[in-house]
Amino acid sequence: MKLFLSGNEAIAFGLVEAGVRFISGYPGTPSSEILPTAIELKRKYKINAYFEWSVNEKSAMEEVTAASYANIKSAVTFKQVGLNVAMDPFMNTAIVGTPGGLVVVSADDPGPHSSQTEQDSRFLAFFAKIPVLDPSTPKEAYEFSKDAVNLSREFEIPVMLRTTTRISHSREDIETGEFNFKDDTAVNFNKNTDRFAATPHFRYLLHKTLNEKIEKIRQKNDFKEYFDGDFLIITSGVSFAYICDIVEEYNLEGVVKVIKFDMPYPINFDNLQKKIGGHSNILVIEESYPVIEMQVKNRENVSGRLNGFVPNEGELTLDVIKELFFKCGIIKERKEKSIVAPPFKRPSLCPGCGHRSAFYAIKKVFKNKAIYTGDIGCYTLGLNLKAVDTVHCMGASVSFAFGFDKSFSTFGSKMPVVATIGDSTFFHSGITPLVNAIHNRASFLLVILDNATVAMTGNQKTPQDKTDSYNNTANAVGIENVVKGVGVEFVETEDAYNIDSVTDILSKAKEYILKSSKPAVVILKHPCVYTKEGLKENIRFEKVFVDKDMCEGCKVCIDNFECPSLIFKDSVVEIDRSTCINCGQCVVSCPLGAIKVKE
């Protein structure tokens, strides 16, 4: 059957077809669609499997490691920065090995398009001494997922499948196997403390075993060759597909020879050295970091990132590669043209998003006299309301608030600090720093923006949900209970839409943190209006409109409330009917009362 699958869908198909029956992960662009596809397959074909989101990547990594100890073919999915969170178990899983087989799918985001870093997960595979497969198309993503499962099972070593935004979010016609997901799963844990609970003294033995495995894989790892010219190009991943397109466009079949690694680590150095020996012009082109390049023994005639020929930052797009080909003389003439960017629209919280109301109230109470520590999620866009000063990594809003509070109170004078974090991010990494704040007497305000979903990455469920991904019963974990349980005394919950009452609560919280030695927590709830249910249940008026005669065009509403449906046109503000959801939240933002509602 031929299907038109995205790279992420293809990965899920490949894993499940190869017998993977335990998948965990945490959502993050561009990896988020892998697990839902597996969940869909399980539902549709009634596969006996455990496929479900976890609370964060570290937990997910540990869960699947245990599953592989129990002889289950397993996989974990996250984005590249998620691998950072999972790093601790990841390193040790490599050392101990994975009896049932384990594929680590890490999605990189060169550009970056929606991440903090452009890091290359292949480097971390190198670091952990585990093999990594680097597909160049969705079709290869499908094939390599299956290869990864088999390789992992054979050597009892975790295998990384590295994808990038361009692979994960591209689609291709793919011939999939017949869907008779046959099952060879047999749960079984062979206890062996020398392996699964080794003391440091014996760890070097496990390390030795890992070294032996990776050497065997290195010997087997061969490259593929394409075309037949003098100029040698070494590549892997999506860059290979771009190179093929350029070769075709400029008829370079007799000009270049391309060496492609499906597995960019571990490389068989000697074979590669033999191959490149006779060439005086060698170019290494690989997306992200110089992983293959660093494994080339003699780099005398090699150009790449290490000698600065290939840019060391930014996405390696087809246009960039073309330019490199021109610079080193592979292409003689370039079709002169400048690249035009599409009309830019500043990203903004959705019209009617409860987060906006929350930020508006926060700004009203704390003005420009506080430090605002933000976090990762839609609410990063609190930037637009000047209610976010820092965004770092998952959960850092809380620990940054701690750091700022201690710095100012120790070395200067007390400074109000307001941290904002989403519900899912709070569960992911916000609880531990809150425990530290309680214990070590830091005082700041933590606002938990609770929209009951992981909105940014496609509305996955959070631990607060009463149901799981299959709509079966789950145990809901209440944020309020958690916060009170660790010892926070000032805890208030309100609907973010009730701006007046929220403002009152925030004023009290402000007083509290200035004289207390504990953090205050305010939970502002409002369902994400981007979901069907959220939108349906949202409060709405028949119509929200700007009274043209009263609007003086001061733009105070746009500046302070910044709903994208408020637009400035012909010296007054008007409401864009095609995007406004008539929530009426903007009414308070007009000092003249020109924004009105019709009930």
Rounded to the nearest whole angstrom, what is the least distance from the CB of residue 574 to ligand SF4 in the complex?
10
Binding-residue total with ligand SF4 (CB under 6 A): 24
530 sits near another protein (criterion: CB under 8 A): yes
350 sits near another protein (criterion: CB under 8 A): yes
568 sits near another protein (criterion: CB under 8 A): no
From CA 493, how far away is CA 510, in angstroms rounded?
15
124 sits near ligand SF4 (criterion: CB under 6 A): no
2 sits near another protein (criterion: CB under 8 A): yes
Q: 169 is in the binding site of which of another protein, ligand SF4, none (Cβ under 5 to 8 A by kind)?
A: another protein
From CA 212, how far away is CA 219, in angstroms rounded?
11
Q: 580 is in the binding site of which of ligand SF4, another protein, none (Cβ under 5 to 8 A by kind)?
A: ligand SF4
- Report the residue from 238, 302, 396, 418 that binds another protein according to the rule CB under 8 A: 238
Q: Interacting stretch for another protein, rule CB under 8 A, among 151-159, 186-194, 235-243, 298-306? A: 235-243
Residue 379 near residue 364 (C-beta atoms within 8 A): no
Rounded to the nearest whole angstrom, what is the least distance from the CB of residue 582 to ligand SF4 in the complex?
5
Q: 197 is in the binding site of which of another protein, ligand SF4, none (Cβ under 5 to 8 A by kind)?
A: none
Strand-strand pairing, 543-546 and 595-598: antiparallel
Q: Which is nearer to another protein, 292 or 349 (CB)?
A: 349
Q: Interacting stretch for ligand SF4, rule CB under 6 A, among 13-21, 60-68, 331-339, 573-581? A: 573-581
Q: What is the footprint of ligand SF4 within residues 58-117 (CB under 6 A)? A: none
Rounded to the nearest whole angstrom, what is the least distance from the CB of residue 570 to ligand SF4 in the complex?
17
Q: Which is nearer to ligand SF4, 431 or 587 (CB)?
A: 587
Residue with tokens 């009414």: 587
Contacts of 589 (CB under 8 A, 6+ apart): 360, 556, 557, 560, 561, 595
Binding pattern for the stretch 132-171 against another protein, x by CB under 8 A and - elsewhere: ----xxx---------------------------x--xxx
Provide the 8-state DSSP code for 441. Answer: T
From CA 324, how far away is CA 285, in angstroms rounded?
9
Q: Which is nearer to ligand SF4, 152 or 424 (CB)?
A: 424
For the chain, how big is the Rg over CA atoms in Å?
27
Q: Which long-range contacts (CB under 8 A, 24 or more apart) does 410-417 make?
A: 414/514, 415/370, 415/371, 416/366, 416/369, 416/370, 416/371, 416/444, 416/445, 416/510, 416/513, 416/514, 417/370, 417/371, 417/372, 417/373, 417/444, 417/445
343 sits near another protein (criterion: CB under 8 A): yes
Cβ-based burial of 313 (10 A; exposed 0-12, middle 13-18, buried ≥19): exposed
252 sits near another protein (criterion: CB under 8 A): no
Q: Which is nearer to ligand SF4, 314 or 347 (CB)?
A: 347
Rounded to the nearest whole angstrom, what is the least distance from the CB of residue 522 to ligand SF4 in the complex?
17
From CA 594, how far away is CA 52, in angstroms rounded?
49
Does residue 351 have a cis bond before it (omega within 30 degrees)?
Answer: no
Tell me how far CA of residue 581 lies from CA of 176, 252, 377, 564, in angstroms: 42, 54, 22, 11
From CA 132, how far away is CA 221, in angstroms rounded?
11
528 sits near ligand SF4 (criterion: CB under 6 A): yes
Q: Which is nearer to another protein, 334 or 598 (CB)?
A: 334
Q: Which helix (H) or strand (E) holds 354?
A: helix 354-366
136 sits near ligand SF4 (criterion: CB under 6 A): no
Beta bridge partners of 445: 418, 520
Q: 583 is in the binding site of which of another protein, ligand SF4, none (Cβ under 5 to 8 A by kind)?
A: ligand SF4
Residue 562 near residue 385 (C-beta atoms within 8 A): yes
597 sits near another protein (criterion: CB under 8 A): no
Furthest C-alpha separation in the chain: 81
Beta strand segments in 440-575, E: 445-450, 490-495, 520-525, 543-546, 566-569, 572-575
535 sits near another protein (criterion: CB under 8 A): no
Residues that bind ligand SF4 (CB under 6 A): 349-353, 355, 378, 451, 455, 528-530, 544, 563, 565-566, 575, 580-586
Tell me which residues touch another protein (CB under 8 A).
2, 4, 29, 113-114, 136-138, 166, 169-173, 238, 240-242, 244-245, 248, 317-319, 322, 335, 337, 339-340, 342-343, 345, 347-350, 530, 564, 579
